Amino acid sequence: MNKKMGLGLGALALMFASMAIAADGVSVEGVKCLLQGSKPANVEKAAKYKEGNVYFCCGGCQGKFEKMTDEEKTKLAAKANNQLVATKQYAQEVCPFTGGKLNDKTAIKVNGAEVKFCCEKCQGKAEKLEGDAQVEEIFGEKAFEKGKFKLVKQETK
């Protein structure tokens, strides 16, 4: 490979990497579109949700979400909450099942989000679930409240 081609490919890789990080430092690397779950999220296609942002693959999905009623958005709450945690805008304080103190040894990944539990029993309960059922049980509104998922304060420089 010649030197110019190598530099061009390097610049291209850097450009794509920067597309995965928002101005506020949020990374969507590995995060999927809220509506088209099989497509990668684009950091430039965001909509406000709670005190953070949720991300989409394209302007079409972004616009569709922004036009939804609150009732329609409620149906997407678990997936949206999952995305808030996967993008590290929100973090949990306690177990989403029991409200108990977190045990670092129980951490698992759910759609790019690290989640911890109070004990191996709760961890096992989560691991037995799959797909949408797992997301709903861990990130649904009741679990999100019980797990005391809170906005992560961004440091100002």
Q: How confident is residue 25, by pLDDT bands cut at 50, 70 and 90? A: confident
Return the structure tokens found at 6: 């190598």
Please, are residues 58 and 45 in contact by the beta-carbon 8 Å criterion?
A: yes
- Predicted confidence at residue 21, as pLDDT, reads 53
Read off the pLDDT of each residue in 96-120 and give the average, rounded to a whole number: 97
Please state the rounded mean pLDDT for residues 18-36. 78
Which residues lie below 8 Å from residue 29, measured CB to CB, with a gap of 6+? 20, 21
Q: What is the pTM of this model?
A: 0.83
Do 26 and 87 touch, CB atoms closer than 8 A? yes
Average pLDDT on 86-114 reads 97
Q: Distances in Å between the alpha carbon of 63 and those of 42, 46, 58, 66, 96? A: 14, 10, 9, 5, 31
Q: What is the pLDDT of residue 47?
A: 98
What pLDDT digit, counting tens, does each position of 31-75 carry? Answer: 999 999 899 999 999 999 999 999 999 999 999 999 999 999 999
Q: How far apart are CA 15 and CA 73, in angstroms?
A: 32
Q: Can you list the alpha helix ranges (DSSP code H) found in 54-102?
A: 59-67, 70-74, 77-86
The mean per-residue pLDDT over the stretch 140-156 comes to 89
pLDDT at residue 17, rounded to an integer: 42
Q: What is residue 16's predicted lDDT score, i.e. its pLDDT?
A: 45
Contact residues for 94 (Cβ-Cβ < 8 A; gap 6+): 100, 101, 102, 118, 146, 147, 148
Let me know the angle formed at the C-alpha of 53 by 107 and 123, rounded to the nearest 5 degrees: 15
pLDDT score of 30? 92
- Cβ-based burial of 133 (10 A; exposed 0-12, middle 13-18, buried ≥19): exposed
Residue-wise pLDDT tens digits, 3-20: 555 545 444 444 444 445
